[in-house]
Amino acid sequence: MSVTEILQNIQFVVDAGGDKKAVLLDYSLWEELLTQLEDLEDAEEIRRLREAEEEVIPWEQAKGELRAQRVDV
Tell me the domain boundaries of the chain: 3-68
> Quick one: pLDDT at residue 56?
85
Would you say 40 and 71 are in contact if contact means Cβ atoms under 8 Å apart?
Answer: no
> Quick one: pLDDT at residue 71?
87
**Cα separation of 2 and 41, whole Å?**
16
- How does pLDDT run across 29-58, given as a tens digit for each residue? 999 999 999 999 999 999 998 898 888 899
Average pLDDT across the chain, whole number: 93
* Confidence bin at 14 (pLDDT 50/70/90): very high
Q: Which long-range contacts (CB under 8 A, 24 or more apart) does 2-6 make?
A: 3/33, 3/36, 6/32, 6/33, 6/36
Q: With H, G, I as helix, E, B as strand and everything else as coil, classify residue 20.
A: strand
**Cα separation of 4 and 27, whole Å?**
17
Res 65 pLDDT > 90: yes
